[in-house]
Amino acid sequence: MIQVRDLWKSFGGNQVLKGITLSIPRGQTYVVLGGSGSGKTVLMKHVIGLFRPDRGTVTVNGVQITGLEGKALTEARRVFGMVFQGAALFDSMTVYDNVAFPLRERGHSPTPELVREKVLAKLKVVDLGDEVLERFPAELSGGMRKRVALARALVSDPQVVLYDEPTTGLDPITTDYVDGMIVAAKQKLGVTSMVISHDVASAFKVADRLAVLYDGRLAAEGTPAEVKASTDPYVQRYLSTWFQKQ
């Protein structure tokens, strides 16, 4: 579904990505782990076409994102849904209007009846019902806001969902619920997921494949078992604190 080939990116004199190559199979959840400054967010922004690489390519669903502009880039991005860190809901909108927003924003929204049908269907995927439709984000718990954010990301039936640090700042119970939500979206809808995270415990719960970035390079990549068995010193150090708790 997503292919990244020999991706390089620098800002000024700072080389952030140094030849990243990876593939994300259709229908799988791929987690990119790494500490602050490792390059994981910059990588995700290349996947969605917000950044252009200095060298290398990104191909999504058979379309090379690299170099696209204007309407062509907008069209290519329609395969994506995005769950932002902190949910990023519109405070002045109800849950219904937040979830419906992507359908209306495209300028050719379906009938009100179909919008409502789609909104309710995606809320059901994240275990929410019509009782939340008229609530505002301030009236929701942190976990519920995350669920509404995922419903909004799913309402346009994307092929790929990108998660930007989905468990940052959440308590353990809510984190566990968000992990389950990511897995459920894959199982119920068959979406491909790319998760940017520094949460090792969460990553190993949801990932089909993992990458660990360090200093702009892939320090390890593979199934959770393969990454856990990595002999790379940084990977061993990065994972050690979590594995010592198991």
pLDDT at position 109, please?
61
Split at pLDDT 50, 70, 90, the class of 112 is confident
pTM to 2 decimals?
A: 0.87
Mean pLDDT of all residues in 24-44: 90
Domain that holds residue 195: 2-244
Split at pLDDT 50, 70, 90, the class of 242 is low
Q: Do residues 85 and 166 make contact, with C-beta atoms less than 8 angstroms apart?
A: yes
User: pLDDT (tens digit, 9 = 90+) per residue, 127-182?
Assistant: 888 899 999 999 988 778 888 988 998 888 889 999 988 887 778 888 888 888 88
The CATH number of the domain where 176 resides is what? 3.40.50.300
Domain count of the fold of the chain: 1
Which of 100-104, 122-126, 165-169, 199-203 comes out lowest in average pLDDT? 165-169
pLDDT at position 246, please?
52
